[in-house]
Structure 1
Amino acid sequence: MSIRARAATVLAAAAALLVTGALPASGHGNATDPPSRNYGCWQRWGSDFQNPAMATEDPMCWQAWQADTNAMWNWNGLYRENVAGNHQAVIPDGQLCSAGRTQNGRYAAMDTVGDWKAANKPRDFTVNVYDQALHGADYYRVYITRQGFDPLTQPLRWSDLELVTEVGRTPPQSNTVIPVNAGDRTGRHIVYTIWQASHLDQSYYFCSDVNFTS
């Protein structure tokens, strides 16, 4: 399919979403800083998603838009229900960024291995979670990949992650700021955040690509 034809397909999908009122997405939430993969794609390209320059300037987002535009328009819907805290049992290795291909595989492109845009961060940084629907949290857990993991060539597994921060019950608020220390990590990593919402058994999973600079 040509770039022009692909752009027309994406435009048609966006128009359909506008008709149904699903653009922009409403409810739920996401990690906004460092941005999750699908939130970052929406942030950078949501107002310019027909631009063929995305294919060369941001190829990981390009493949994600081609795979399922709804993964970006619904940037706040990457969750599973009724996990009962058994995150590792429910979500297989290699599918952590899509929450085990949740929502009928809508977010599967988030698991694609490659050079996702990474936010430069110092080792002491914060994870910001936008709670758009004011669900509150039973807990937040922030993991970072171990030193030596290469997100450009390796699929993410649970054994690649180390729990670095956990925050307990948090009342509903639009933005939760979680202080994180990355230890002696350097270079490229994935920050993996689990947000267990309080309003029901609803678990959110966010892959954020970072580059530790100091």
Structure 2
Amino acid sequence: MPGKLAFVPRRTTLLLAAVAGLGLPLLSAAPALAHGYTTAPPSRALLCSEDVVTDCGPIQWEPQSTEGPKGFPDAGPADGTICAAGDSRWAPLDDPRGGTWPAVSLTPGASFTFTWTLTAAHATTSFRYFVTRDGWDPTQPLTRDQLDLTPFLEVDYGGRIPPYSIAHTGTLPVKHGRHMILAVWTIADTGNAFYQCSDVDFGA
């Protein structure tokens, strides 16, 4: 199992410092202050922010900002825009890049601790984790018909506010080869949720 990653979005810090140095209102940088991203397994947004993957567009500055309508899978982002939470600013996250996104090795059926870093905590309904179906096509943007729509792990929060560093331990699905894990953090007191896509490999 890969080790947990400790991450502080350095670009966000530099951006805020630059804005302050120019004497501009910090309100103009407010989107960079919200909200959360997955660190284990690392999400596409995190990989972009850490320059592991390049040509990602503005998500490199805001890995925590993949926020879109909640209600997945019945509602939420449209098919093909799920990794970007339906927000065109983050569209590079939906680009499959020919199936070449870096993938973390996982052991099927093993215990695994999923982790998030939050930059703004919210009253929370749940954290849910979905995985792609066997035979899905990693060279195509993620759609609902490529996912097992029953989460393999769900952690209910009942409206409580989670800590800024979160860990959820569960059992990985029994899969083989390359897959994607979709983590959905559903907010209780707004109409939105946060979507994070992680590329993983369960081996032969």
| Residue identity matched to 1:30 | Y
Q: Which runs of 5+ in 2 are unaligned?
A: 1-12, 21-28
Q: 1:74 to 1:183 in 2, by over 3 A?
A: closer
State the alpha-carbon separation in 2 of the partners of residues 131 and 180 from structure 1.
20
1:181 shift after superposition: 2.6
Report the 3-state secondary structure (helix = DSSP H, G, I; strand = E; otherwise coil) of the residue aligned with 1:72: helix
1:113 to 93, 96, 105: 96
**C-alpha deviations, 1:108-145, integer Å up to 9, x for none?**
01000121111112222222122222224210110000
* C-alpha distance in 1 between matches for 2:171 and 2:137: 20
* Cα gap change, 1:92 to 1:27, in 2 (>3 Å): closer
Shift of the 167–94 alpha-carbon distance from structure 1 to 2, 3 Å rule, reads same
The structure 2 residue matched to 1:72, chosen from 60, 69, 84, is 60
- Letter in structure 1 aligned against 2:106: K
Deviations 1:26-51 (A, max 9, x none): 331111111110112212x2xxxxxx
Task: Choose the corresponding residue for 2:140, options 131, 154, 165.
Answer: 154
Rounded Cα–Cα distance in structure 2 between residues aligned with 1:183 and 1:207: 16
In structure 2, what is the Cα distance between the partners aligned to 1:89 and 1:132?
25
Deviation at 1:19, TM superposition (A): 2.5
- CA root-mean-square deviation: 2.6
AA in 2 matched with 1:206: Q
Letter in 1 for 2:92: A
* Secondary structure of the corresponding residue to residue 147 of structure 1: coil
Runs ≥4 in structure 1, deviation > 3 angstroms? Answer: 14-18, 86-90
Out of 186, 193, 202, the position equivalent to 2:183 is 193
Distance in 2, Cα, partners of 1:16 & 1:171: 27
Q: In structure 1, what residue type is equivalent to 2:33?
A: S
More helix by share: 1
Answering whether residue 54 of structure 2 is matched by residue 62 of structure 1, we say yes
| Mapped partners of 1:119, 1:190: distance in 2 | 10
Q: Tell me: CA distance 1:18–1:200, structure 2 relative to 1, closer, same or farther (3 Å).
A: same
1:8-157 pair list within 5 angstroms: 18-20=17-19, 22=29, 25-43=32-50, 45=51, 61-64=53-56, 68=57, 70-80=58-68, 83=69, 85=71, 87-100=73-86, 102=87, 105-114=88-97, 115-123=100-108, 124=110, 125-151=112-138, 153-157=139-143
Identity rate, percent: 30
The TM-score, its normalising length taken from structure 1, stands at: 0.72
Measure the CA separation in 1 of the matches of 2:45 and 2:128: 19
**Offset at 1:63?**
2.9
